[in-house]
Copies of this chain bind each other. A is one copy, B any other.
């Protein structure tokens, strides 16, 4: 079922996703899908949550700058994948707050882990809100709302602005 959704979402020619369409693609009865998920929004949120859980390992390079540069690089690579991007857009489109939460996934918790490790080293890192605004937000915005590339130089520059020397 998850693969049927991902294939349908990745197919740009496919205009609107409905439970009967997904069921047909997966070769099951629509009633089976309705029983398990109820709505397209539930189904998409579930697929996106699975897709985003455990996909990025929280880096441990020994410094906050190193960790954030690595993290931003990995997240950029992940969001640039056309199938991931199509899934994020579709989930945002149908899911309301539930879909939005699925797209944020573990990101906040992963960033908090990086900041917490820096505090444990006796440092004074930026807040989670500030780090979200300076790193997560531009990565998601550029991937979802623009067709500009998420280059390694650009992700490094985001970290430099957050952590001036």
CB under 8 Å from chain B, chain A span 134-157:
134, 136-138, 140-142, 144-147
B15 close to A146 (CB less than 8 A): no
Across-interface contacts of A18 in B (CB, < 8 A): 15-16, 18
Copies of chain A in the complex: 2
A94 to B141, CA, bound (A): 17
Across-interface contacts of A95 in B (CB, < 8 A): 89
A138 close to B133 (CB less than 8 A): yes
B100 close to A146 (CB less than 8 A): yes
A18 to B140, CA, bound (A): 27
Across-interface contacts of A92 in B (CB, < 8 A): 89, 92-93, 144-145
Residue A65, interface by CB 8 Å: no
B89 close to A12 (CB less than 8 A): no
A89 to B92, CA, bound (A): 6
CB under 8 Å from chain B, chain A span 98-135:
99-100, 103-104, 130, 132-134
Closest 5 CB pairs of A and B: A93-B93, A137-B141, A133-B138, A137-B138, A137-B137
Interchain Cβ contacts under 8 Å between A and B, 14 examples: A15-B41, A15-B94, A86-B96, A89-B96, A92-B93, A92-B145, A100-B144, A100-B146, A100-B147, A104-B146, A133-B141, A133-B161, A136-B141, A140-B141
Q: Other than the known A18-B18, A133-B134, what 4 A-B pairs have Cβ atoms closer than 8 Å?
A: A16-B17, A16-B94, A90-B93, A133-B161
